[in-house]
Structure formats: C-alpha cells, structure tokens
C-alpha cells in the first residue's frame, strides 16, 4: 500500500495546536536560515493562525527568542480586496498579532496591496514582487520555505474556493479569484506556488471542520469541490496539524 502523501498530527487539546505549530515554524526558520541565509514564509488568515502568530510574538514564551526575525521574509498566501486597516484584512491580523510586535525589518514584510481598486492589477503587482524577490525567469515558480494554510468548512484553502476559475490556473503565480458566495474578488496564490513549497502546514481546529477534513483526507479526489485536495507539494512536506474536535470523524489509519 503506498504511503500517504502527508503527515497528520492530532492534538488532544485545541490550545496545544499553536505550540506544536510554533515548534515546527521555528525549526523551519532555523533550517532555512542556516542553509540559505534567509527564510521565506507565506502567512494565512484565520483564527487558528492568529493564535500561532500571537504565541510567536509573545515575549514571555520561548519561541520568540528562537526565531531569526532579522532574516525572515513574510508574504501572504491570500488577501481580501480591502485596505490594510480593514477588519477583514489578513495583513492587518498578522500585523496586530505578530509583525508589529517583533523585530522584523519593515522591508521584509511583503504585503498584498488589496486596497488597489483594480484587483487584477493588484494580483499582477504581487506576482511581480515574488518574481523580483526570487529573481525568477519565465516559467519558474518561487519556492517558499514554509506555507501556512487553513481549511474552510467548504474545503477551500487560501482563496481557492470550490468551483472557482483559480483552481485551474497553472501559469500565473497570483490571481484575482471571483468568489460568488461572497460576491467579491480575493487575491490568492495559485496551486503551483503552494505545491512548490519546501514545507506546507495546514492548521485546522473545531468540530465544524470535522466532516470536511474526513472528506478531504479520506474521501474521493474531487478537488473542484474540495480545493484543499489540490495541495500536495511536489518536492516538499505536507503536515496537517489538527485538534481532536476537527479529527473526530477521521477513520483510523492502518
């Protein structure tokens, strides 16, 4: 029987999930800096990542001192089409929870300009940021050291929602994706970017995710309906960190 294309860790208590995620984050950062002198991370929105960010920034915890902040570069896997001070902004959340509280150089924070009225221009501009930072030539895809992702109750991840056009995109790095459910565009990394990462971590908590987690991990492959199934790093690792509530419907693995 072939091995699973991912690892999964089920945390008995939801409050331990940020600590386990922080440990993995720190190890990824330390390894990347040791090997290449910097660490490139793509951040996620959502309440579970917020708890991770707050923990990493906490002056009273061990993780903050271990992160090589001056050598970290932060990007966003997706963003809402809103200004950076908007309550829905993923940038604002990460800034308030972590980035404004740690000694990371301002020029190492690469946010998506979601306030641009032309959402397609905003996507093109962020793709240019990635190409410049990584010095990419045509056809190349950036390789993030770590990509943090969440999963919605509908199976979406980043802003790759069920049935949306971005699911099929294989040439662009960043696109503006129309989300009919919310009657708005969102900006998102495309599947090739996510799958070229050295490490991807899904953070999933809550009983409202249980049925979808079982479908995504143990159901038939239907990525058009369950976009989280599209994430499968080509030359990297995929780790699902989930709490017991989210894992309650998973079948035992042999």
- What local confidence, expressed as pLDDT, does residue 252 receive? 87
The 10 Å Cβ neighbour count of residue 37 is 9
- What local confidence, expressed as pLDDT, does residue 60 receive? 85
Give the pTM. Answer: 0.96
- What local confidence, expressed as pLDDT, does residue 4 receive? 61
**Which structure tokens are listed for 31?**
């390894």
Whole-angstrom distance, CA of residue 174 vs CA of residue 67 = 28
Averaged pLDDT, groups of 10, the chain, 254 residues long: 74 94 98 98 95 95 95 98 98 98 98 98 98 96 98 97 98 98 97 98 97 97 98 97 97 78
**Sequence-distant (≥ 6) Cβ neighbours of residue 6 within 8 angstroms:** 217, 232, 238, 239, 240
In order, the DSSP letters of 163-203 are: T-GGGG--S-SEEEEEETTTTEEEEEE-HHHHHT-SEEEEE
Domains and CATH numbers, the chain: 7-247 (3.40.50.1360)
- What local confidence, expressed as pLDDT, does residue 1 receive? 29
Residue 73 bridge partners (DSSP): 40
- What local confidence, expressed as pLDDT, does residue 182 receive? 96
The 10 Å Cβ neighbour count of residue 164 is 21
- What local confidence, expressed as pLDDT, does residue 7 receive? 96
């Amino acid at each position: 029987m072939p091995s699973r294309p991912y690892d999964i860790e089920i945390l008995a208590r939801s409050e331990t999930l940020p600590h386990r995620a922080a440990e993995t984050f720190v190890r990824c950062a330390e390894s990347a800096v040791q090997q290449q002198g910097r660490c490139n991370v793509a951040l996620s929105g959502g309440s579970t990542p917020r708890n991770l960010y707050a923990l990493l920034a906490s002056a009273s915890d061990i993780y903050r001192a271990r992160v090589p902040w001056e050598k970290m570069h932060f990007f966003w896997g997706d963003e809402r089409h809103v200004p950076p001070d908007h309550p829905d902004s993923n940038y604002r959340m990460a800034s308030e929870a972590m980035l404004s509280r740690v000694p990371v150089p301002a020029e190492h924070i690469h946010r998506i300009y979601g306030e641009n009225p032309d959402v397609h221009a905003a996507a093109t501009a962020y793709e240019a940021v990635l190409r410049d930072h990584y010095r990419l030539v045509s056809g190349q895809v950036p390789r993030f050291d770590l990509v943090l992702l969440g999963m919605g109750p509908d199976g979406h991840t980043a802003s790759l929602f069920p049935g949306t056009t971005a699911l099929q995109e294989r040439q662009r790095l960043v696109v503006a994706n129309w989300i009919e459910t919310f009657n708005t565009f969102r900006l998102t990394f495309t599947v090739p970017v996510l799958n070229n990462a050295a490490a991807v971590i899904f953070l999933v908590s809550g009983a409202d995710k249980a049925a979808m987690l079982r479908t995504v991990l143990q159901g038939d492959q239907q990525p058009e309906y369950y976009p989280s199934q599209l994430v499968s790093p080509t030359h990297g690792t995929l780790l699902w960190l989930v709490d017991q509530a989210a894992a309650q419907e998973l079948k035992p693995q042999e």
